[in-house]
Structure 1
Amino acid sequence: MTELSKKEFLNRLLKIVKKLSSLSKSQTFRFQHKWNDFLSTINTKPYLVRAIPVEDEKFLEDIDYRINTLKCVSQAIIDGFYSIKTLIETLYNLYFNDNTFKQQFSEEDQLKVKYLTAKEVLGNLIQYNKLDHKTIPFKYNVIARNYILLKLKGQSDKSILNNMNKIFNNEITLDQIHVVMREVEADGFITIKQQNEGIFYKLVKEIKLSEEGEKNYNKDIYQMIIWPTNFWRSFYNIRELNITPGMDLEHRDFLQKILLRSATQGFSPTEFVFKNLINYYERLKEEST
């Protein structure tokens, strides 16, 4: 890893903060625009990521300003999580029950869209699913997480249980898997067979929209649900902070432990790094007074 002096590290941190400031502005504008186009008829407001104002000279020279800016970044990081959560809640609790959706898609396609939305969001954002595994209804969550294996070779009930409990922290029981997979069977997508080692499930019908349904999906819903993935991969990526603190940095070992987490992309590492950078600079401030 690159070793940075105190001055170099502060400039690197400023660079990352400015990047996140720019992303919060551009991604929030894009999200609001798509929401207005697609969900304004639902009469609900999106949860937006706050702006991150930053002035270069103040950030570099004024520790109070730096701490307050880092706190704003930390709050924006949490905003992003709730932006995604609110979007998912709006889709499953409101939009999918709205007449606009029902008029746009056939009854068969309506069901498939609910599966496809979960597959798109949770298939790409496994870390998000670990943090929030209850907003998307369980049936769609199970298929989103197991779709590929169900399609390629099928899965046993115990295999699905083990897979889901990696997300649900061992809260799921085998009976719950049996119940939800019977619901998926009733939807026409899988077969269920009793085998010596348990119950075996196999995908028999791909979750594929009609030609008209796919056209409407790509034009509207897909444009909305790709936002979480794009936001997550850009905003929760601070790998440039994965550096070795130079010998002139105070509390070097403590800072090193903080920055090591930036090597991993995602909400939790990003939130951890900025929360502890605030602690780091507050500690330096206390020691200087």
Structure 2
Amino acid sequence: MSQLITGNSVGPGMGVDGGGILDGESKEEHPSKFQSENDRAPPETWGDWERERLKPPGTTLLRPMAWSAFFLAATPLPLVFPGNTPDDAIISSVLFAVAWSLVLLSLLSVGSLSRHPSQSHAYDIFPLDMPSLLIAVALFLAHVFVNPVLGWASYATFWYSWVKLTKSLTDSTYPSNGRWAKEIDPLQFNHIGLVDGWAFTTGHFKTGIIGVGPPVAPQSRLVIEGVRANNVAHIAISILHRSGFRHDPFQHRVDVRDIDLLLEKPPLIFRTDGPTSRD
């Protein structure tokens, strides 16, 4: 879900959110929907680009993550207080499965586990912590085949992995989700070039990631996306975090030292029959 702010202009006393209509409401009527204290103004070269606010993933993740903690905490209770269920082992397993199903389904719902250019390797499942999960699974198998006491070590390690996941989600949802978009004619996509350090990953316009820029942090890189809003094609620039969340590059919560230098001008070059223009 997104909110596309139109009519942005960079000029004296206006900043990037001057004017605009959002869901039929003017900025003067509801200014909080158009800007926040976290917003930073981009350089004037971004004057005809629009800030698009994306739905914060934290609002989608909060409830299922809270319930997952509840079911994970309840997992050992049938074993600690045996004889109160038809089958203590099965009930405990069901509680555990529900806990982690809530985790996985919530991450899938926000696109966090999909493949994208900011992942560090082919088996990267961030924000899940692969090392602790593998250790927890190994301890669980050892408790089945070696010593039942190791089951408690496995359970504690699963909790450790859950806490690390929660910390990673907290860090990755702290910056505002958003991107900067510019309307284009998709039929003219092949006439768009990029500056050095950027590259398209497709030869035609489509929705989704269509190009990549330079890395801006160990877990983030700039990306180009194809976006359609109200049947109008846009090309958008954002910082793609390793979690899969898109961060607005012009905000105070993004701690990237060279972001203003990297985005001093939009990276697109519009080729025409006349002189080449960069926008």
Q: Which TM-score band applies after superposition, normalised by the shorter structure?
A: under 0.3
- After TM superposition, the score normalised by the length of structure 2 is 0.25
Higher normalized strand content (fraction of residues)? 2
- After TM superposition, the score normalised by the length of structure 1 is 0.24
Structure showing greater relative contact order (alpha-carbon pairs closer than 8 Å, 6 or more residues apart): 1
Higher normalized helix content (fraction of residues)? 1
